[in-house]
Structure 1
Amino acid sequence: MKPDPAVLQACLLFRGRSVEEIESLLHKMIYTVSEFPRKTVILAEGDKADRLGIVLSGRVEVQKNHPTGSGVTIAHLNQGQTIGEAVLFRRNNSVPATVTASDPCTVMFIGKQELLRMFTADTDLLTRFIENLSERLVLVNRKIEILSAGPLRRRIVDFLLEQAELQSSATVRLPFSRKEWAEHLNTARPSLSREMGILRDQGWILFKGREITLLDMDQMKDYIHSVEADSGGKS
């Protein structure tokens, strides 16, 4: 199966390339494309990390599992996003987390040696790859901030304000399910539902399904500032 160049334009690795330029690259590139049914493991923790994945369609979940059987969702990746770039060139390049198809998905794989060849032939691709790593690092840092942002209510409010800014709207649509959101905040779903109910009763939000309307962003921002002040500015 040949990837759609228009889809690859959404991938940071090919940012700024025209469809024709990507088409030309594909003719020179060694790659594979695989389809995965929903809930299929794409990469298991401990597998050798010797290839870069690009999500062509569907959605994948990256989850760190613990010996107790519980797990924490690290990321959800959509069309155009990459899998495995952060560990591809590590000395101990084993997959650190399990990657599973959240929905039926298609993934393009490029081997490590092929990537090195491409970087040598096209330094712009290398630049895009490094940018991709940098953006992923920012996301990881943001995840750490969320998990260390104090009380659960503070983490929820912080997340909602961030989404309102990203979506340029006071009505935001969650990018994942309520269960996945709870995992993202490192909490139990009942705890998340209880806090959401409190925020609704305070008149700060309304919600239905995945849509949440922020009714009083000023109060929400004041709350964030008050929590930061109480903790000496430390989240």
Structure 2
Amino acid sequence: MKPHPAVLQACLLFRGRSVEEIEALLQKMIYTVSEYPKKAVILAEGDTADRLGIVLSGRVEVQKNHPTGSGVTIAHLNQGQTIGEAVLFRRNNSVPATATAADPCTIMFIGKQELLRMFTADTDMLTRFIENLSERLVLVNRKIEMLSAGPLRRRIVDFLLEQAELQSSDQIRLPFSRKEWAEHLNTARPSLSREMGILRDQGWIQFKGREIALLDMLQMKDYIHSVEAAPGDNR
């Protein structure tokens, strides 16, 4: 199966390239494309990271598992985003977390040696790869900040305000299910539902399914500032 060049334009490695330029690159590249049904494991924790994955379609969930059997969702990856780049060139290049198909998905894989060949021939692509690593580091830092942000309500409001900024609207759509959102926030779904109900009753939000309307972003921002000023508050 051959990836569509227009899809690859969403990937940072190929960003700024025309469809014709990507088509020419594909003719010279060595790669594979694999399809995965929902819930199939794409990369398992402990596997050797010897290739870069690019999501061509569907959605991928990355989760860090604990010996107790519980796990924390680290990221949800959509079309154009990459898998495995953070550890690909480490000396100990074992996969640190499990990547699973959240929906039926198609993944393009490029081997480590092929990537090195491409970087040698195309320094612009190497620059984009480094930019991609930097973006991923920022996402990890945001995740750490969110998980250490204190009370659940604060984490929920933080997330909603961030999504409003990303989607440039006070009418947002969750990028994943309520269950996945709870995992993303490292909480139980009933706890998330309870806090969402409180925010609705306060007149800050309205929601139906994945659609959430932020009715009072000023109050939400004031709440964040008040929690930051009083870190002992567990609301």
TM-score, structure 2 length as denominator? Answer: 0.97
Offset of residue 125 of structure 1: 0.4
Matches within 5 A, 1:155-174: 155-174=155-174
Offset of residue 20 of structure 1: 0.6
| Partner residue in 1 for 2:56 | 56
Local SS of the residue matching 2:156 = helix
- Does the 8 Å contact 2:61/2:101 carry over to 1? yes
RMSD between superposed Cα atoms in Å: 1.7
Gaps of 5+ in 2: none
- Does the 8 Å contact 1:46/1:95 carry over to 2? yes
Offset of residue 45 of structure 1: 0.6
Offset of residue 231 of structure 1: 2.7
- After superposition, give the CA deviation of every residue in 1:10-66 in whole Å (9 maximum; x if it has no partner): 000001000111011111111111111111111111010000000111111111111
- Does the 8 Å contact 1:228/1:234 carry over to 2? no
Offset of residue 193 of structure 1: 0.6
Hey, what's the Cα distance between the residues in 1 that align with 2:64 and 2:198?
A: 30
Distance 1:151 1:233, change over 3 A: closer
- Does the 8 Å contact 1:45/1:97 carry over to 2? yes
Residues matched between the structures, number = 235
- After superposition, give the CA deviation of every residue in 1:188-212 in whole Å (9 maximum; x if it has no partner): 1111111111111111111110111
Runs of 4+ in 1 over 6 A off after TM superposition: 232-235
- Does the 8 Å contact 2:151/2:234 carry over to 1? no
| Partner residue in 2 for 1:121 | 121
Matches within 5 A, 1:1-235: 1-231=1-231
- Does the 8 Å contact 1:58/1:79 carry over to 2? yes
Offset of residue 234 of structure 1: 14
Gaps of 5+ in 1: none
- After superposition, give the CA deviation of every residue in 1:89-110 in whole Å (9 maximum; x if it has no partner): 0010001111111111111100
Higher mean alpha-carbon deviation, 66-75 vs 123-132, is at 66-75
